[in-house]
Structure 1
Amino acid sequence: MTDHPQLLASLIDTLSAGGNLRSPAWKRAAEAVPRHEFLRGGFFRRIQNSVPSAWEPVLESDPGWLEACYSDESLVTQIAGTVVPTDIRGRILREPTSSSTLPSLVLRMLEDLQVEPGMRVLEIGTGTGYSTALLTQRLGEENVTSIEYDEDVAVRARTALGRLGIHPTLVTGDGLDGYAEGAPYDRIIATCGVRTIPAPWIEQTRPGGLVLATVGGWLGASELARLTVHADGTASGPLIGGRVSFMLARPHLPPPLDLLPDLSAGKERETCLGAGVLDDWTCRFIVQAAVPEAQRLALAHDGRHEDVLLDVASGSWAALHHDGRRWTVRQDGPNALWDTAEEHVRRWQAAGAPGLERFTVHVTPGKHSYRW
């Protein structure tokens, strides 16, 4: 087994070569933080070709554990909201709820945060504590506050940081509310996805400060946004690309689908915009912004395959079907979901179908919007 200093040095070389670790200051911080210390409780490894996804625990005592800790991969550390690797033997078929993000993305985001010495940072989502440690190495304990929603995850992060003698301000609570007691901040960075930028983040960032967060939604397309906060309480800034994906903040998760509506009802018409647009990342992002309350399902209905958008809260839905010659859509409910999606996609196409890197996010009190 290779010891961890060699593995860490190799990881840093990989991150530097990939352009994710660009500045000497962040390289020094990365060299000072051993990632394996934040994975002492083990992680879950996805079993290849398992459908639905199955996971098995990898513990500190298992062969390959240390090497995996220094791979440029995200490592799942919690499943189903409570289950950690030491809780089970064998396999588990549930959804991940916490992880150690791949180091290349962690360091890329920290570089994109554009910090300077003396700046005060609020991190939303402590997770394992690895990124918290990097921030603390760069800025000092007194300038870093990190908030974690899950109490058990927060305890494990505090323990790992304490083992390394790192003691920033650690808070357990809803990160969507920020942490007003430590405001104002020069920077806020979120390591969870959000559907819209929460107002407290804007309120708790000083004018001229930055908020760096992944914005997405229930259709699964997300992008990293860097917003500048303005003196009038608004914020704006670009999507900075890369198809960055994080687990959504738990309060932003979709409602359960429960009982489906009668998909035989509604009005049917031909549409030139087929379900294939939902397979394209940029188009899906646009549709998601147009109908943010909609979830996507693939169903067999009346002996044929249909792609369905469903808004649980309003009961609105749209079912798309291709008969080999043309696409049709059948819709019902108070909101014509596919009409709205078509309108937004057509406006985007009329503008020349710009890439997401040309989009900007605008946040005003009560409103979150995209422009291109």
Structure 2
Amino acid sequence: MGALTGSGSTGPSGVSADPSSRRAALVRSLEAEGELSDPRLRDALLRLRREVLLPHAYVRVSGPAADPIDWRLLDGGHPDDREEWLDLVYDGDSVLLQRDGEPLDALGRGPVTGGHMTSMSTGLLATVKALETLRIEPGQRFLDLGPGPGISLALAAAVVGPGRAFGVERDRHMAAFAQRNLDRLGLGVRVVTGDALDGHPASGPYDRVHSGFGVPSVPAAWVDQLAPGGRLVTTLATRTPSWPGQLLVTRTPRGRAEAVLQGGRRGTRPLLGYRWLTSVHHRPRIEADPGRPRATRLAPPDRDAYGFWLAAAYLAEGLVWDFQEGVMRIVAPDDDSWAVPGPGEGTVRVRGRRDVWADLEAVHERWERAGRPDAYRVDLSDGGGPQHVTSGGGAHALEWTLPALATAVPVSSAHARSLPAQHGGGAGPVEQAESIVPPMRRAGGGA
């Protein structure tokens, strides 16, 4: 990689090549969208030189079905790449960084074919939401699980202070890459190589814990390493990338762990070995035959009815919400079945051996009877046992049990180096209505 250079010049597109101007514009956009309110985090974002942590970027050239995949590597130190690279670094989306667990100290710019992404930064909106939820303050001890290149770790370290922020990264090449770049920022951060599912007990307990990858249930080690008064944020990975959930765990001053699960539009990608369902291969078939129409009383639920969609991920298992050209399609890939609302009000088209829309009708009716909950309690009191979810008390409460890590991630795939593309179209966090992007490694995620 070439050396990074600062410049106040303007590139051919008329956009300032000065990273400080881009940082300010990025912060303004976050504030305008109502995503940023913490003044300490705002100051950290204005000061964080993202270009130091993201000195290169892969651009996917091939379409979503291509195999092998064609990429192009941008070198931020090369004058011919600099403007496009800075656009990627400061547009707030994810940045693709590593193929198949490769070493990161001698990458060559230009076209390359084959491989799948095993590390990328998380989109900034998801990172900011998680850090604001954590309520980071000076002097706290912060643990980042699967920090990838270290964006969230650097932001937290700028707030908590030197020597108080730690990261655990499974991939030794990424751990060394992140540590080297973080050292250039002088934040006093330590990144260790290890399985993030085990946390980092040596430097605990921690006041704030952030996971840069999604898990189907909460590892007991994470809760054990949370200090009294501490807060932990992670994405709960469901079988579908369409319906992520954000879990906030707090430990009371008396030591009890309390957890609240909420749905949302964004989340981080799941640990390596966790298989998302995908509807990509069904798209041409649905276009050709949306299905037979039937009557329904259920109008397509709003996409921001997060409490309903999150419940559907568990209570109507095996479904994927696929948006193409503004049309909702609900697909059950394993059952070779789908549903497409319309044409017109009060009708839905269904096809396959499973009436997918009937499953959603049943969950929606239960969700209505439960009082349309948008948040759920998760019982973590069993210390490694089953984690039960409930919408509250009463005969109509929604309830389910989270899948255990051991069953959700097969041993044969838990330590795989890469997986085929599962979900894509923009990179970074899980986000509703995105198309297919490469998955994340097991105990990383990129933040």
TM range (shorter): 0.7 to 0.9
What is the CA RMSD across the aligned residues, in angstroms?
3.9
* Alignment-mate amino acid for residue 94 of structure 2: S
Determine if the alignment matches structure 1 residue 59 to structure 2 residue 53.
Answer: no
Which of 197, 203, 227 is residue 182 of structure 1 equivalent to? 203
Cα shift at 1:21: 2.5
Q: C-alpha distance in 2, partners of 1:50/1:339?
A: 31
Q: C-alpha distance in 2, partners of 1:48/1:319?
A: 27
* Alignment-mate amino acid for residue 167 of structure 1: G
8 Å contact kept, 2:199–2:225: yes
Q: C-alpha distance in 1, partners of 2:135/2:37?
A: 12
3-state secondary structure, aligned to 2:130: helix
Q: C-alpha distance in 1, partners of 2:246/2:122?
A: 15
3-state secondary structure, aligned to 1:170: strand
TM-score normalised over the length of structure 1: 0.75
State the partner residue of 1:313: none
Determine if the alignment matches structure 1 residue 99 to structure 2 residue 120.
Answer: yes
Cα shift at 1:29: 1.5
Determine if the alignment matches structure 1 residue 351 to structure 2 residue 345.
Answer: no
* Alignment-mate amino acid for residue 56 of structure 1: R
Determine if the alignment matches structure 1 residue 136 to structure 2 residue 157.
Answer: yes
State the partner residue of 1:172: 193
State the partner residue of 1:209: 230
State the partner residue of 1:228: 250
Length, aligned pairs only: 334
Matches within 5 A, 1:252-331: 252-253=274-275, 285-290=310-315, 308=332, 310=334, 318=335, 320=337, 330=353
3-state secondary structure, aligned to 1:207: strand
* Alignment-mate amino acid for residue 380 of structure 2: V
Cα shift at 1:346: 4.6
Q: C-alpha distance in 1, partners of 2:265/2:321?
A: 22
Q: C-alpha distance in 2, partners of 1:32/1:321?
A: 48
3-state secondary structure, aligned to 1:13: helix
State the partner residue of 1:70: 90
State the partner residue of 1:367: 386
Cα shift at 1:178: 0.8
Change (3 A) 1:330 1:142: same
Further displaced range: 92-101 or 128-137:
92-101
Q: C-alpha distance in 2, partners of 1:364/1:143?
A: 28
8 Å contact kept, 2:179–2:191: yes
Q: C-alpha distance in 2, partners of 1:297/1:14?
A: 28
Q: C-alpha distance in 2, partners of 1:352/1:249?
A: 33
3-state secondary structure, aligned to 2:107: helix
- Cα deviation, 1:57-85, whole Å, max 9, x if unaligned, reads 22212142123312222111123443869
List runs of 5+ in structure 2 lacking aligned partners. Answer: 1-10, 12-16, 278-293, 323-329, 341-346, 392-447
* Alignment-mate amino acid for residue 268 of structure 2: F
State the partner residue of 1:150: 171
8 Å contact kept, 1:297–1:308: no
- Cα deviation, 1:320-349, whole Å, max 9, x if unaligned, reads 367999857758xxxxx9999887555224
Q: C-alpha distance in 1, partners of 2:205/2:307?
A: 34
Q: C-alpha distance in 1, partners of 2:156/2:119?
A: 20
- Cα deviation, 1:269-288, whole Å, max 9, x if unaligned, reads x9x899x99x9976553343
Change (3 A) 1:58 1:235: same
8 Å contact kept, 2:249–2:257: no
List runs of 5+ in structure 1 lacking aligned partners. Answer: 256-269, 299-305, 311-317, 332-336
- Cα deviation, 1:215-239, whole Å, max 9, x if unaligned, reads 1222222122222124465432242
Q: C-alpha distance in 2, partners of 1:127/1:20?
A: 22
Change (3 A) 1:116 1:89: closer
* Alignment-mate amino acid for residue 377 of structure 2: T
Q: C-alpha distance in 2, partners of 1:65/1:309?
A: 37
Cα shift at 1:192: 1.0
State the partner residue of 1:6: 21
- Cα deviation, 1:190-219, whole Å, max 9, x if unaligned, reads 111111111111111123311111112222
Change (3 A) 1:308 1:30: closer
Cα shift at 1:368: 2.3
Calculate percent identity across the aligned residue pairs: 25
Cα shift at 1:116: 2.1
8 Å contact kept, 1:192–1:249: yes
Determine if the alignment matches structure 1 residue 15 to structure 2 residue 30.
Answer: yes
Q: C-alpha distance in 1, partners of 2:108/2:122?
A: 21
Q: C-alpha distance in 1, partners of 2:138/2:99?
A: 37
Q: C-alpha distance in 1, partners of 2:102/2:157?
A: 28
Change (3 A) 1:83 1:327: farther
Cα shift at 1:19: 2.4
- Cα deviation, 1:303-324, whole Å, max 9, x if unaligned, reads xxx95465xxxxxxx4536799
Change (3 A) 1:251 1:321: closer
3-state secondary structure, aligned to 1:105: helix
